[in-house]
Amino acid sequence: MNSSRHVALIPAAGIGARMNAACPKQYLPVAGKPMLVHVLETFAASNRIDHVFLVVSEADGYVDEIMAALRGTTDKITLVRNGGATRQESVLNGLLAMDGHVEKSDWILVHDAARPGLSEELIEKLIDGLQGDQVGGLLALPIVDTLKRAAPGNRAESTVSRDGLWAAQTPQMFRYELLRRALEQCTQVTDEASAVESLGLQPKLIEGSARNFKITLPGDIALAECYLKDKG
């Protein structure tokens, strides 16, 4: 098990409707590069990652330009053009495309294309933190803000205890066999960890970083650029 490889899987078939942009948000420029390029370069540069699978929609008209720009790293990246209508479908399709190229015990790191703030240090922290773990886990941040439950009309109805609450990030890292089984058996999940949880297992939480946030709204790009300005 210690010789298992680490393979990244990036689902990038979404359109990012809340960005109100002319192209899918993963191709929007952040600090001079499409955000997807930041993600691919980080994984390709990591000596802890053996290979990267990028899953896009069949009709994607932007990815070829992205791949052409990644000089010297594309040999570490496999492009899969069978993205689904949901994140779960895209991840599962990516896992199916890996069949025959990975072992059942290999670790799969699923990462959002819209989290360009990921660093090699965070990848290493996740991998080291899950060494020998029987389940796997994910990067996440403990909730520090006071939480309110809203009533109709956006009135604060009650304060929710934040004890034990974490905000999930990615990568989320699980063995190939376990992750594939979880996604095949659980049909409604918001992330890979929730699919694994549905099997009665408890993924481990590894503290991530605020820089690794998910770009969702137009104003998020400026914040991401602040984090990325000193990224090598």
pLDDT of residue 19: 62
DSSP state string for 161-177: P-TT-EEEEEEEEEEHH
pLDDT surpasses 70 at 18: no
Q: Are 8 and 54 in contact (CB under 8 A)?
A: no
State whether residue 104 is helix, strand or coil.
coil
Instruction: Write out the two tokens for 193.
Output: 């960890």
Where is average pLDDT lowest: 23-27, 201-205, 213-217? 23-27
State whether residue 189 is helix, strand or coil.
coil
Q: What is the pLDDT of residues 193-211, one digit of tens each?
A: 999 999 999 999 999 999 9
Structural domains in the chain, sorted by start: 6-228 (3.90.550.10)
Average pLDDT over residues 42-66: 95
CA 24 → CA 53, 217, 227, distances in Å?
A: 19, 12, 22
pLDDT surpasses 90 at 182: yes
Q: What is the pLDDT of residues 109-133, one digit of tens each?
A: 999 999 999 999 999 999 999 999 9
